[in-house]
Amino acid sequence: MTRQHATSQLLIAACLAMVAGLAQADTLVTNVTVVDVETGDLTEGQSLLIRDGVIAALGPGIEADGATRVEGAGGYLIPGLWDSHVHIFSSEKEPDTALPLYLINGITGIRDMGALWPIADQKALQSRIETGALLGPRVILSGAWVDGRPGSWPGMFLADTPEEARSVVGRIAAEGWAAVKSYSMLTEETYLALAEAAGNEGLPLVGHIPEPVALGTAIAAGQDGMEHFGRIPMACSTKEEKMLDDLRMAMQDGAGQARLFEIMAARNAIILDSWDAALCADVLARMAEAGLHVSPTLVVAGFYTGARPGADTPRMRMLPAAVRAAWDRPDFRLQAMTEEVRALADKSIALDRRSFAMAHAAGVPILASSDASFANPFLFHGFSLLDELDIYVGAGLTPREALFTATVAPPRFFDLPDQDGTIAVGRRADLVLLAANPLDGLATLRTPMAVIVAGQVLDRFALDAMEAELLQAGQ
Ligand SMILES: [Zn+2]
Could you state, in order of their start, the residue ranges of all structural domains in the chain?
19-78+423-473, 80-413
The CA 56 to ligand 1 mean position distance, Å, reads 36
Phi then psi for residue 459, to 5 deg, are -80, 180
Residue 181 binned pLDDT confidence (cut-offs 50, 70, 90): very high
Indicate the helix (H) or strand (E) that contains 57: strand 54-59
Spatial contact of 153 and 115, defined as CB atoms under 8 Å apart:
no
Angle at Cα 88 formed by Cα 179 and Cα 288, nearest 5°? 40
- Mean pLDDT, range 438-452, rounded to an integer: 98
| CA-wise closest residue to 452 among 79, 62, 26 | 79
Q: How far is the CA of 73 from the centre of ligand 1 (A)?
A: 39
Name residues with Cβ closer than 5 Å to ligand 1, which is an ion: 113, 371
> What is the CA(376)–ligand 1 centre distance, in A?
8
- Chain segment 387-413, per-residue pLDDT in tens: 999 999 999 999 999 999 999 999 999
H or E element that contains 245:
helix 240-252
Three-state secondary structure call for residue 180: strand
| More confident: 262 or 465 | 465
Spacing, Cα 227 to ligand 1 middle (Å): 8
Residue 8 pLDDT level (bands cut at 50, 70, 90): very low
Angle at the Cα of 93 from the Cα atoms of 90 and 98, rounded to 5 degrees: 75
Expressed in angstroms and rounded, the spacing between residue 433 Cα and the centre of ligand 1 is 29
**pLDDT at residue number 229:** 97
CA of 87 to the centre of ligand 1 (A): 6
User: What number is the average pLDDT over the span 245-263?
Assistant: 90
Q: Does the pLDDT value for residue 159 go beyond 70?
A: yes
Q: Model confidence at 2, in pLDDT bands (50, 70, 90)?
A: very low
- Give the residues across from 434 on adjacent strands: 76
CA pair distance 30, 60, nearest whole angstrom: 9
Q: Angle at the Cα of 192 (from 187 to 196), degrees rounded to 5?
A: 150
Q: Mean of the pLDDT values across residues 210-229?
A: 97
What is the pLDDT averaged over residues 106-130? 97
pLDDT reading at 138 higher than 70: yes
Cα 387 to ligand 1 centre (Å): 16
Q: What is the pLDDT of residues 60-103, one digit of tens each?
A: 989 999 999 999 999 999 999 999 999 999 999 999 999 999 99
Interval 128-149 mean pLDDT:
97
Give the distance (Å) from ligand 1 centre to CA of residue 443: 26
150 upstream amide cis, omega within 30 of 0: yes
Other C-beta atoms closer than 10 Å to the C-beta of 337 total: 15
* Ligand 1 center–CA 282 separation, angstroms: 27
pTM of the model: 0.93
State how far the alpha carbon of 33 is from the alpha carbons of 48, 98, 275, 419, in Å. 11, 30, 44, 20
Q: Judge if 19-78+423-473 and 80-413 fold alike in CATH terms.
A: no
Which CATH number is 19-78+423-473's, of 2.60.40.350, 3.30.1330.40, 3.40.50.2300, 2.30.40.10? 2.30.40.10
* 426 CA distance to ligand 1 middle (Å): 33
Bridge partner residues of 181 (DSSP): 145, 206
80-413 sits in which CATH class?
alpha beta
pLDDT for position 335: 76
pLDDT at 24: 67
Rounded to the nearest whole angstrom, what is the distance from the C-alpha of residue 317 to the centroid of ligand 1? 23
Please report the pLDDT score of residue 415 as a whole number.
Answer: 96
Do residues 363 and 271 touch, judged by C-beta distance below 8 A? no
Query: 114 alpha carbon to ligand 1 midpoint, in Å?
Result: 7
pLDDT at 13 over 60: no
β-pair type (138-141, 68-71): unpaired
Span from the CA of 302 to the centroid of ligand 1 (angstroms): 15
Determine the pLDDT at residue 306. 77
15 has a pLDDT exceeding 90: no
By the 10 Å C-beta count (0-12 exposed, 13-18 middle, 19+ buried), 342 is classed as: middle
The closest of 140, 85, 91, 88 to 385, measured between CA atoms, is 85
What percentage of the chain has pLDDT greater than the value 70? 95
Q: Look at residue 333 in the predicted model and tell me its pLDDT.
A: 75
432 φ, ψ to 5°? -130, 130
* Distance (Å) from CA 416 to ligand 1 centroid: 22
User: From CA 194, how far away is CA 66, in angstroms rounded?
Assistant: 54
Q: Is the pLDDT of residue 340 over 80?
A: no
pLDDT band at 23 (very low <50, low <70, confident <90, very high): low
Q: Does the pLDDT value for residue 417 go beyond 80? A: yes
pLDDT level of residue 308 (50, 70, 90 thresholds): confident
